[in-house]
Homo-oligomer: A and B are copies of this chain.
Amino acid sequence: MSLWVWKFGGSSVAGPDRIRHVARRVAEARKEGHDLVVVVSAMGDTTDDLIDLARQLHPEPPARELDALLATGEQASAALLAMALDALGVPARSFTGWQAGIQTEGAHGNARVRAIAAERLREALEAGFVPVVAGFQGLNAEGHVTTLGRGGSDTTAVALAAALEAERCEIFSDVEGVFTADPRVVPDARLLPVISYDEMMELARLGAQVLHHRAVTCAQRHGIVIHARSTFSDHPGTRVVPAGTVEPDRPVSGVTSDRHVARLALVSVPNVPGIAHRVFSALAEAGINVDMISQSVARNGHQDIAFTIADGHLPVARRVLEPLVRELPAQRLVVDDGIAKVSAVGAGMATQPGVAATMFGALAGAGINIEMISTSEISISCLVAREQVDEAVRAVHAAFDLGR
């Protein structure tokens, strides 16, 4: 009998009717003879509501306690889906992360799956139950409940699929799969039937919401094919597969954007060794990831260092950098939080010249100024004014002829 791991996102279990709908899908798959392990997120806005409650009690809620609080959301939806399955005559059992044997390591709120001791799930499967696992969580070596951060339930599903050697890993959400761009922004965006791990990771890292890059990394490491599908349709969705199995037929596979970007610039710092190290190690110590970096050509022994971070880190970044302005010294710190990033991603761009030129031309043609540029093997990103970013996505999408 084939084993499938299915994961349902928060909007798929946002209320009793939707939970029942998910239960019916699971019951049908069982009827077709498949064994299933189901991973669920917290219902609808539960996680945001719990975070709100926490913030009312503490300006910066202790990470261990925030994890203990948030983990209850997925536990509740797992129990509720197990009940809905039982009501359809499908024997089911809910599992918290620790009951499912999910062992984590790393920081609270952003832990990694270290290992999965899947005996209890296997026993439940053998006894004929559908295990319903609370996503997004596990237990660390000290016995504390930890959450896996954004996209954590996707990662739970992929890690379980690997541990249980599942035949399929399907991630259900309220979108039909991975598109060439966000269909809400680009009306003629096209569903990609297949995409490589590398491209999917890059799209996710650069702003696409449909799958989280950590889940894709985990899938790639274990050779798990992910199907990204819609809870509310039977469309086959997008398969995320090893690069070798999909031939890039075009330089760019998708265009994405990220509005949660802030740019900081340290203006006129001395051009002496060790300056960049001091700046970026101070940010790293504060737990802030830096994305794009540019350093101006030195003039009169001074230069500018500019970089981007997630805009949620802005308050902490200011606290870290303001003393450095005096110490380095820099003339001043300039912060711009009115920007966004547009990115084109494609495994084919490495072998096809002119991709950057096409992208810059598309933006210029739409009258959009480029504030900063960064590139990787399979992506090009441009920083633009935030109010122009949707326009930028449309222009780049059209320039690479990605529409249906």
Q: Which residues of A contact B (CB under 8 A)?
A: 16, 19-20, 50, 53-54, 56-59, 61-62, 64-66, 68-69, 71-73, 75-76, 78-80, 82-84, 86-87, 92-94, 96, 99, 120, 143, 145
Contacts and interface: CB of A to CB of B under 8 A. Distances in A.
21 contacts: A16-B53, A16-B57, A19-B57, A50-B76, A53-B80, A54-B83, A57-B83, A57-B84, A57-B87, A58-B83, A58-B87, A59-B87, A61-B83, A62-B82, A65-B79, A66-B79, A68-B82, A69-B76, A72-B79, A75-B75, A120-B143
A99 B76 CA distance: 18
B57 A20 contact: yes
A84 B58 contact: yes
A29 to B, nearest CB: 19
Contacts of A143: 99, 120
Contacts of A62: 82-83, 86
Given A61-B86, A72-B75, 5 more contacts: A53-B80, A66-B83, A69-B75, A69-B80, A72-B72
Contact of A68 (B54, B64, B75, B84): B75
A72 B76 contact: yes
A120 to B, nearest CB: 7
A65 B53 contact: no
A250 to B, nearest CB: 46
A87 B58 CA distance: 5
